[in-house]
Structure 1
């Protein structure tokens, strides 16, 4: 499944765009955009592997209840991507 963002004309002008890195790949995003939503619009379908059986996991609730969106952010593991706003230069790694 592929997701896309709904943008207004003012959001599309690129004035508040920043660069972050997801698995060492540069990604342009809007400052303050929800990290999990950004990752769902890209190629990062799997956010982490289950510690129980290794199965692929991805966001489910998008409000911080399910903990399926855990990623490493700036070297800190087990961060909830759904509760994290994008900021310039952040480095995100999927926990696979």
Structure 2
């Protein structure tokens, strides 16, 4: 299980799949979700297999989530802001052009 080394209090929260997650403003979104003991951030489009962060540096795309209605966001590259709504994603969402 992931834990903070920094023991300062959380000052905000966001929701992931309807669950309130305590966090600190500006911290890494993927790390905050992992700390809440959530391992599946998305599912694969073909088999529905659960997927979670792998590289934590934006290379692998395993941590795709929908943030405030915007799909295909890499949780490892996002920072937490209070009140954000994060949803798991099924595969990669289509991009409307």
Q: Is the TM value for this pair above 0.5?
A: yes
Q: Does 1:57 align with 2:45?
A: no
Q: What is the aligned counterpart of 1:41 among 31, 35, 41?
A: 35
Q: Does 1:91 align with 2:90?
A: no
How does the TM-score come out when normalised to structure 1? Answer: 0.85
Q: Does 1:80 align with 2:74?
A: yes
CA RMSD in angstroms comes to: 1.4
How far, CA to CA, are the matches of 1:47 and 1:20 in structure 2? 15
How does the TM-score come out when normalised to structure 2? Answer: 0.85
Asked if the contact 2:2/2:37 (under 8 Å) is kept, the reply is no
Q: Which runs of 4+ in 1 moved over 2 A?
A: none
Which residue matches 2:6?
7
- Cα drift, residue 53 of structure 1: 2.1
Aligned length: 90
Uncovered stretches (5+) of structure 2, i.e. residues with no partner = 91-97
- Cα drift, residue 4 of structure 1: 1.3
